[in-house]
């Protein structure tokens, strides 16, 4: 990291101002050349209103210059931030001059990568920077800000300390007995491991809520052809996003729309109607529907209430294993003589509405919201939101479970300790203490340039 890098840190395009960031050992020297003031002394964290020049001594712009002396900066290195007018021409000209003066163009996420490598933040916090920027709701922003603040790191370090305490117990026992661990100590070890397993499971349990807040709940609208799925889809969104027709099989492909319900992000998916005699493109659409159903968080099974009672009730029997399902009887605006006794639904979640007139649609939205808020109490907790972290914690859980099995088998102490140390590596991967370079490069490559 001997190079000095630069990039635009503000969003691309025109704006009130553009922010150009410089980081590295030559930041101050290059800035002085840019200002044509080689003897100027920039006081750290003070704003200076200065003229910036091109290499042929013509003025580029008037700008605000702020110098952050390392290690008290974002990257831990000497950093200079230049705020100039938000013209793409001015910004491009300034970057070209900085490159001429000795800067190198920053790679995506390189500023944050340097902050990580210089010990300003750990890897989980670095990942939270990118997630925070890409957040689409206040709930997601709050969740990722807590990780950036270090709350999640504290939980991981607590897990790590518990495992290290268990390893210390094993090693201290070996100092007194070179043969084997006593029954009393073995019981203590198992007790400590069980405690760590429970702590880990509490963190893992928050992933469902964390994923919902970060990625949004996938809500799939399904049912027989011509049940009014697309009409309901359009009614929810208050606009025509899906083609509606009286002809069965009109929807041949899935239509996805990102949406928010009371600040919670959701992905509504309108799918092709499912029927056995479908052919050609419609058949391919049904295959796609089934894939969406597999990954759905909530399934809306739309039923045409104008059908005979027997057909309506038969569609309640659709089996969606381990899924939250709401059976919606549509087209109640059309008069019919159907009378469903309460016991006919077999305690299934049902709702009646008219997608055409909008009657009952607000109740439908409220019902969906109640599903989304089942874990509302955990929204303010520190949540597990990153799939990579989840994978590491699941691997840790496997190591801890294996450790219990080794204890039950009275395995040699060095094998028990080795399994626990293997579990520790999974926590170190989360914090970035032992993460391979290729994984680091992959993580930071997903950042925007300038962060």
Per-residue b or e along 375-390, where b marks 16 or more CB atoms closer than 10 Å to that residue's CB: beeebebbbbbbebbb
Q: How far apart are CA 248 and CA 274, in angstroms?
A: 10
Higher-confidence residue of 374 and 55: namely 55
Pairing state of beta strands 104-105 and 217-223? unpaired
Please compute the mean of the pLDDT values over residues 106-114 and round it to a whole number: 95
Give the residue among 212, 328, 224, 216 at the shortest CA–CA distance from 271: 224
Q: How far apart are CA 168 and CA 147, in angstroms?
A: 29
Q: How far apart are CA 287 and CA 290, in angstroms?
A: 5
The H or E element spanning position 267 is strand 264-270
pLDDT tops 80 at residue 113 = yes
Domains of the chain: 5-106 (3.30.1360.120), 128-206+384-445 (1.20.120.430), 216-377 (3.40.50.300)
Helix (H, G, I), strand (E, B) or coil at 64: strand
Q: Provide the pLDDT for residue 101.
A: 96
Contacts for 307-315: CB closer than 8 Å, 24+ residues apart: 309/338, 309/340, 312/338, 312/340, 313/340, 313/344, 315/223, 315/224
- Count how many Cα atoms sit within 13 Å of the Cα of residue 239 in the half-sphere of its side chain: 3
- 43-95 pLDDT per residue, tens: 999 999 999 999 999 999 999 999 999 999 999 999 999 999 999 999 999 99
Return the number of other C-beta atoms located less than 10 Å from residue 430's C-beta: 27
59, 34 Cβ separation under 8 angstroms: no
Question: Which of 238-252, 275-289, 343-357 has the least mean pLDDT?
Answer: 238-252
Q: Tell me the two tokens of residue 218.
A: 């996938």
423, 396 Cβ separation under 8 angstroms: yes
70, 45 Cβ separation under 8 angstroms: no
Q: How far apart are CA 364 and CA 236, in angstroms?
A: 9
Q: How far apart are CA 200 and CA 397, in angstroms?
A: 7
Q: Provide the pLDDT for residue 247.
A: 45
Q: What is the dihedral of CA 429, 430, 433, 434, to 10 degrees?
A: 10
Residue with tokens 């925007």: 448
Full strand arrangement of the beta sheet holding 47-53: 47-53, 59-68, 79-86, 15-23, 5-8, 104-105
- 3-36 pLDDT per residue, tens: 999 999 998 888 999 999 999 999 999 999 999 9
- Give the Å distances, CA to CA, from 309 to 144, 247, 359: 49, 22, 21
- Give the Å distances, CA to CA, from 118 to 112, 151, 153: 10, 20, 17
Backbone angles phi, psi at 181, to 5 degrees: -80, 140
- Give the Å distances, CA to CA, from 395 to 153, 279, 391: 18, 44, 6
Give the residue among 168, 79, 49 at the shortest CA–CA distance from 416: 168
Q: Provide the pLDDT for residue 414.
A: 85
Q: What is the mean pLDDT of the chain?
A: 87
Q: Provide the pLDDT for residue 320.
A: 77
Give the residue among 18, 9, 25, 34 at the shortest CA–CA distance from 76: 25
Helix (H, G, I), strand (E, B) or coil at 377: helix
- 172-191 pLDDT per residue, tens: 766 555 555 566 678 889 99
Please compute the mean of the pLDDT values over residues 106-115 and round it to a whole number: 95
- 316-330 pLDDT per residue, tens: 876 677 888 999 999
Q: Provide the pLDDT for residue 281.
A: 59
Beta-bridge partners for 104: 5
Give the residue among 302, 304, 331 at the shortest CA–CA distance from 318: 302
Q: How far apart are CA 84 and CA 156, in angstroms?
A: 41
Helix (H, G, I), strand (E, B) or coil at 328: strand
Instruction: Please report how the helices 387-408 and 413-431 are oriented relative to each other, as an axis angle in degrees rounded to 10.
Output: 170
């Amino acid at each position: 990291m001997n190079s000095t890098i630069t990039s635009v840190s503000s969003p691309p395009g025109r704006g009130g101002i553009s922010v150009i960031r410089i980081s590295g050992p030559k930041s101050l020297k290059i800035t002085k050349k840019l200002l044509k003031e080689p003897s100027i002394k920039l006081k750290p964290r003070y704003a200076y209103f200065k003229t910036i020049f091109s290499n042929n001594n013509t003025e580029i712009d008037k700008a605000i210059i702020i110098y952050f002396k390392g290690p008290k900066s974002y990257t831990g290195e000497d950093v200079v931030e230049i705020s100039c007018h938000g013209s793409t021409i001015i910004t491009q000209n300034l970057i070209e001059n900085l490159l001429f003066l000795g800067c190198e163009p920053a790679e995506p996420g390189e500023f944050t990568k340097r902050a990580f490598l210089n010990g300003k933040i750990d890897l989980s916090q670095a990942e939270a920077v990118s997630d925070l920027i890409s957040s689409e709701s206040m709930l997601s922003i709050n969740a990722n800000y807590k990780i950036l603040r270090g709350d999640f790191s504290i939980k991981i370090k607590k897990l790590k300390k518990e495992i290290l305490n268990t390893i210390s117990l094993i090693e201290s026992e070996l100092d007194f007995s070179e043969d084997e661990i006593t029954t009393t100590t073995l019981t203590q070890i198992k007790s400590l491991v069980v405690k760590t397993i429970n702590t880990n499971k509490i963190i893992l349990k928050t992933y469902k809520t964390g994923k919902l807040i970060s990625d949004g709940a996938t809500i799939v609208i399904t049912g027989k052809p011509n049940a009014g799925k697309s009409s309901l889809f359009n009614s929810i969104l208050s606009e025509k996003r899906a083609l509606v027709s009286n002809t069965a099989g009109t929807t041949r492909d899935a239509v996805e729309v990102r949406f928010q319900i009371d600040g919670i992000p959701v992905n509504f998916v309108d799918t092709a109607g499912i029927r056995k005699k479908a052919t050609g493109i419609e058949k391919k659409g049904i295959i796609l529907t089934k894939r969406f159903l597999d990954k759905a968080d909530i399934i809306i099974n739309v039923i045409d209430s104008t059908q005979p009672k027997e057909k309506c009730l038969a569609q309640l029997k659709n089996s969606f294993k381990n899924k939250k399902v709401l059976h919606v009887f549509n087209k109640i605006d059309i008069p019919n003589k159907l009378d469903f006794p309460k016991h006919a639904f077999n305690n299934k979640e049902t709702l009646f509405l008219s997608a055409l007139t909008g009657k009952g649609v607000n109740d439908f939205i409220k019902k969906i919201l109640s599903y989304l808020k089942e874990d509302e109490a955990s929204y303010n907790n520190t949540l597990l939101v990153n799939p990579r972290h989840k994978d590491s914690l699941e691997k840790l859980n496997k190591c801890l479970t294996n450790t219990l099995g080794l204890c039950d088998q009275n395995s040699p102490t060095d094998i028990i300790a080795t399994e626990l140390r293997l579990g520790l590596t999974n926590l170190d991967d989360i914090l970035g203490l032992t993460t391979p370079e290729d994984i680091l490069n992959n993580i930071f490559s997903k950042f925007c340039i300038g962060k």
